[in-house]
């Protein structure tokens, strides 16, 4: 009479380390996200210096990834431009809570507006592509207001409630006003001029200025 002497057990040579099968896909996801973030950050930099038609290799060399990684995520250049802008919009929106936690309400509004101008600088560098008529960009204006209007609106509500800023302006008013002030003006050095005008706007919002 024969007995089973361990046939039901695992073969030690084929055994999988506990948790290893779960860790491998998770590691791949982490690596993929890191590569994606690197591509988007590199694209933002390259677009600012070389324009949106810069060679793909210039972007991938800066990101430290292969060209295949770029095209796997973004088959068309418009896909990449859209992703760069959405990432910047998201980062700008996400800055609100941290600013609110670390500053008085009025200061939080001012610092968020300055952060918003950084985003607008990125957006201006992509202006030619955004106005090309490519339908890939049609959803961006809606996304812009959907993410940024509530972010600024929350900061404004707190600052108005505290009495630090005037109450006759909306988040959309401010988003549009700052965007206009960041446009280039003939005969004026763009960045410095915009900074000066935005400082004037912020001062005009305050109810506590001397």
Instruction: Give yes or no: residues 124 and 192 share one domain.
Output: yes
Task: Tell me: do 193 and 169 sit in the same domain.
Answer: yes
Asked if the structure places residue 16 within a domain, the reply is: no
b/e map 91-115, b = 16+ CB within 10 Å: ebbebbeebbeeeebbbbbbbbbeb
Structure tokens at 133: 């008529």
Is 203 domain-assigned? yes
**pLDDT, tens digit, 9 for 90 and up, residues 156-174:** 999 999 999 999 999 999 9
- Same domain? 103 vs 193: yes
Q: Cα separation of 84 and 78, whole Å?
A: 10
Residues 89 and 70 in one domain: no
Give this prediction's pTM. 0.78
Instruction: Decide if 138 is inside a domain.
Output: yes
Residue 125 in any domain: the answer is yes
Asked whether residue 9 is domain-assigned, the answer is no
Taking only the tens place, the pLDDT of each residue in 49-101 is: 888 889 999 999 999 999 999 999 999 999 999 999 999 999 999 999 999 99
127: nearest Cα among 61, 35, 190, 57: 190
User: What is the residue range of 54's domain?
Assistant: 25-75
CATH code for the domain in which residue 178 is found: 1.10.357.10
Say yes or no to pLDDT of 153 above 70.
yes
Pair 115, 200 in one domain:
yes
Selection from 146, 149, 131, 137 nearest residue 85 by Cα: 137
Residues 57 and 95 both lie in one domain: no
Same-domain check for residues 99 and 41: no
Note whether 194 and 117 are same-domain residues.
yes
In a shared domain, residues 47 and 139? no
Domain boundary among 75, 96, 114: 75
């Amino acid at each position: 009479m024969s007995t089973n002497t361990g046939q039901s057990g695992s073969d030690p040579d084929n055994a999988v380390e506990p948790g290893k099968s779960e860790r491998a896909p998770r590691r791949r996801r982490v690596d993929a996200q890191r590569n994606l973030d690197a591509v988007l950050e590199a694209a933002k930099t390259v677009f600012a210096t070389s324009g949106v038609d810069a060679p793909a290799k210039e972007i991938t060399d800066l990101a430290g990834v292969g060209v295949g990684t770029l095209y796997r995520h973004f088959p068309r250049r418009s896909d990449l431009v859209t992703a760069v802008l959405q990432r910047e919009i998201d980062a700008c929106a996400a800055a609100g809570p941290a600013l609110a936690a670390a500053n008085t309400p009025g200061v939080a509004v001012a610092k968020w507006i300055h952060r918003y101008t950084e985003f607008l600088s990125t957006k201006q560098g992509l202006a030619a592509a955004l106005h090309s008529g490519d339908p890939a960009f049609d959803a961006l204006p809606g996304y812009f207001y959907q993410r940024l209007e509530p972010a600024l609106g929350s900061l404004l509500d707190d600052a108005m409630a505290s009495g630090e800023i005037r109450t006759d302006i909306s988040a959309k008013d401010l988003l549009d006003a700052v965007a206009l002030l960041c446009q280039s003006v003939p005969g004026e050095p763009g960045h410095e001029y915009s900074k000066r005008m935005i400082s004037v706007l912020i001062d005009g919002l305050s109810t506590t200025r001397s």
